[in-house]
């Protein structure tokens, strides 16, 4: 009903403008060219008016992780090719943003590169929203440094020390004698949160970490800074592997350090890997359910993920996830 009310009001305003324009056109003082401009403007008005006065079309609103943004956008693009009825809107903003807006009831699917936090679940339930989690694919987090830094591997405790501010110089871990410049993401990023929980043991990040907006910015920054270190999704590092030094990572000292290759992540050898999730309000039905089914499909969304450098889910996990759809 609100729809109709605004519809009527926009018609009224439209007529007010056209009426005023007619007044001007009628005046003898107004020259010919100005009348032409007014006619053009009136036509533009009519076009834009008809472009915005239909019924709401967007069926699926999806927001969240910037790591997943390109993936989700291409999912939307490809899905719509085979199912033209669906209209999907996609935005970034970070995993925290997606989950918050799901809780607020503003979107249908939240993309997250980290699992939902417990206080977010509690908040959701207090607003009457039951978040249902779907794993969609696997992603590794690569630790990258500038090519100038000639170390080849790093352990969790060293990484933790660098990112919580206790290790300040590269020579403390076997590198050149340079101060470490630390790059990271902003607090709304799932990658930021995941690293903090998984590697940093919930230490606070150092205050002088440069909070960049996205994975690509971290890659750019580390390439350009002789003393830089950063963390990015594996596909971003792979894209520019010849300009970076991608470190092998080991959890603790006696263990072996591994490179973030697809095989190592899929087998679990590479220690910093995570699932990329999507969350819905309750178990999905209808259009949303069909979309998620396609995302989990081997030849659908999973193929897209693989092409973009993520790791598709093994079949048994796909079957598990499909159970959550009504």
Q: In the window 124-183, what residues touch other proteins (CB under 8 A)?
A: 181
> Looking at beta carbons only, is 173 or 212 nearer to other proteins?
212
> Looking at beta carbons only, is 95 or 273 nearer to other proteins?
95
Q: DSSP letters of 71-122?
A: HHHHHHHHHHHH-TT--EEEEEE-HHHHHHHHHTTS-SEEEESSPPPHHHHH
Among 121, 123, 157, 293, binds other proteins (CB under 8 A): 123
Interface with other proteins, residue 215, by CB under 8 A: yes
Cβ–Cβ under 8 Å, residues 170 and 178: yes
* Min dist. Cβ of residue 295 to other proteins (A): 15
CA-to-CA dists, residue 150 to 126, 180, 221, 230, 245, angstroms: 51, 13, 18, 15, 8
Among 207, 252, 254, 316, binds other proteins (CB under 8 A): 207
Size, binding site for other proteins by CB under 8 A = 82
Tell me which residues in 1-60 interact with other proteins (CB under 8 A). Answer: 2-3, 6, 10, 13-14, 16-17, 20, 23-24, 26-27, 29-30, 34, 37, 44-45, 48-49, 51-58
> Looking at beta carbons only, is 47 or 255 nearer to other proteins?
47
Crossing angle, helix 315-322 and helix 286-296, to 10 degrees?
A: 170
**Tokens 């410049």 sit at which residue?**
181
Tell me which residues in 77-116 interact with other proteins (CB under 8 A). Answer: 77, 80, 86-94, 96-97, 100-101, 103-104, 106
Q: d(Cα 227, Cα 302) in Å, to the nearest integer?
A: 37
> Looking at beta carbons only, is 57 or 256 nearer to other proteins?
57
Query: In sequence order, which residues have a C-beta less than 8 Å from that of residue 5 and are 6 or more positions away?
Result: none
Burial (CB < 10 A; 0-12, 13-18, 19+), residue 95, is buried
Among 108, 111, 139, 227, binds other proteins (CB under 8 A): 227
Q: d(Cα 237, Cα 234) in Å, to the nearest integer?
A: 5
Q: Rg for the chain (alpha carbons), in Å?
A: 25
- Spell out, one character per residue from 242 to 281, where the chain touches other proteins: x when CB under 8 A holds, - when not: ----------------------------------------
> Looking at beta carbons only, is 142 or 221 nearer to other proteins?
221
> Looking at beta carbons only, is 120 or 321 nearer to other proteins?
120
């Amino acid at each position: 009903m609100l729809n109709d009310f605004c519809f009527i009001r926009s018609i009224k305003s439209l007529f007010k403008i056209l009426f005023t324009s007619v007044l001007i056109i009628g005046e003898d003082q107004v020259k010919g060219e100005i009348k032409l401009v007014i006619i053009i403007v009136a036509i533009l008005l009519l076009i834009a008016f008809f472009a915005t006065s239909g019924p709401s079309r967007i069926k699926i609103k999806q927001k969240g992780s910037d790591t997943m943004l390109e993936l989700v956008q291409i999912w939307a693009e490809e899905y719509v090719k085979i199912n033209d009825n669906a209209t999907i809107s996609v935005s970034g903003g970070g995993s925290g943003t997606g989950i918050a807006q799901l809780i607020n009831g503003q979107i249908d699917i939240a993309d997250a590169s980290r699992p939902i936090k417990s206080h977010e679940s509690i908040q959701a339930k207090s607003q009457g929203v039951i978040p249902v989690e779907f794993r969609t694919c696997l992603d590794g987090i690569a630790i990258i440094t500038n090519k100038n830094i000639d170390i080849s591997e790093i352990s969790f405790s060293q990484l933790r020390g660098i990112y919580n501010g206790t290790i300040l110089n590269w020579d403390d871990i076997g590198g050149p004698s340079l101060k470490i410049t630390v790059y990271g993401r902003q607090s709304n990023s799932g990658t930021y949160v995941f690293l903090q929980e998984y590697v940093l043991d919930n230490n606070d990040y150092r205050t002088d970490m440069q909070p960049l907006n996205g994975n690509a910015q971290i890659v750019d920054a580390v390439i350009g800074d002789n003393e830089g270190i950063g963390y990015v999704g594996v596909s971003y590092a792979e894209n520019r592997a010849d300009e970076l030094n991608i470190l092998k990572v080991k959890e603790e000292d006696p263990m072996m350090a591994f490179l973030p290759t697809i095989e190592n992540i899929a087998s679990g050898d590479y220690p910093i890997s995570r699932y990329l999730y999507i969350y819905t309000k309750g178990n999905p039905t209808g259009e949303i359910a069909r979309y998620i089914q396609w995302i989990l499909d081997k030849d659908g969304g999973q193929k897209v993920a693989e092409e973009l450098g993520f790791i598709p889910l093994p079949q048994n996990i796909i079957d598990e996830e499909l159970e959550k759809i009504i």
